Amino acid sequence: MTRLLYFAWVKDKTGIASEDIELPGGISTVADLIGWLKTRGPEFTHAFEQDGAIRAAVDQTHARLDTSVADAKEIAFFPPVTGG
């Protein structure tokens, strides 16, 4: 199982903060995962339609679109950070 986390407006749009899922076969990178998430219904399509505005972290480390998710325990999606 992989835990998916959503923060800030990504969470507002998906309607959930976290979920535990079994990643479907064929998903090896962050980009693959975003592509699949977009197909999960209108909320997810809406949340990920501006995918250039979304950042990801794999196991609590900043990730890129080509970062592997093969052995990930936790994958998070969020807007660019605005702390400080």
Partner 1 sequence: MIRVQRDDFDIGKEIDALRKGRTGIGAIVTFTGTVRDAHGEVTAMTLEHYPGMTEKELARVEAEAHARWPLQATLIVHRVGRLEPGDNIVLTAAASAHREAAFEAARFLIDYLKTSAPFWKRESGPAGDKWVEAAP
Sites of contact with partner 1 (CB under 8 A): 5, 7-9, 57, 60-62, 76, 78-84
Backbone φ and ψ of 2, nearest 5°: -120, 135
Nearer to partner 1, 15 or 24 (CB): 15
Least distance in angstroms from the C-beta of 74 to partner 1? 8
Bridge-based pairing of strands 61-63 and 74-78 is unpaired
2 close to 73: Cβ distance less than 8 angstroms = yes
Residue 47: CB atoms within 10 A of its CB come to 25
Nearer to partner 1, 42 or 80 (CB): 80
Nearer to partner 1, 20 or 26 (CB): 20
75 close to 10: Cβ distance less than 8 angstroms = no
Least distance in angstroms from the C-beta of 7 to partner 1? 6
Least distance in angstroms from the C-beta of 13 to partner 1? 11
